[in-house]
A = this chain, B = another copy of it.
Amino acid sequence: MFSKACEYGIRATLHIAVESQQERRVSLKDIALAIDSPEAFTGKILQQLVHNNIIHSLKGPTGGFQVEQLDLEQTTLSKIVEAIDGNSIMVGCGLGLKQCNEKEPCPLHDQFKIIREQLKYMLENTTIYEMAIKLEHR
């Protein structure tokens, strides 16, 4: 579904979000430890998220990553996925046909469409905040 990079990105964002709600900043090392991901690779992914204004970073000692209160509530899962995996999950024929559309649908077109719409709804209507809350309570 999502690439490994994207999975790490989501997990990292959620962990940062949880900590940010307690006014705590988190270092890359702590993040990688918490979400069980390779540190350097995770660092790369966090950069993508920083560049997309999904999370914010501060250098130096006491530095680290955090997510702004506003972003917490407004940023949706779709934005994270988009930043890392692009829109590949939402486009293209499920069977890889170049010529597949409403007029010339592949044999799975309609069923794929329904599933994609559900997926899209989930991505676009789930905020970081909602997910972080669930994560804290589990």
Contacts and interface: CB of A to CB of B under 8 A. Distances in A.
Copies in the complex: 2
Given A7-B95, A96-B7, A122-B115, A107 B14 contact: yes
Range class of the A interface residue count = 20 to 34
Q: In this complex, which of A95, A119, A126 has the most chain B Cβ atoms within 10 angstroms of its Cβ?
A: A95
B130 A122 contact: no
B94 A2 contact: yes
A105 interface: yes
A104 B108 CA distance: 34
A79 interface: no
Contacts of A138: 104-106
Contacts of A70: none
A114 B118 CA distance: 9
A111 B126 CA distance: 10
A33 B1 CA distance: 29
Given A1-B1, A107-B131, A111-B122, 15 more contacts: A1-B94, A2-B94, A4-B96, A10-B95, A11-B95, A14-B107, A36-B98, A105-B138, A106-B134, A106-B135, A107-B132, A108-B122, A108-B126, A108-B131, A115-B119
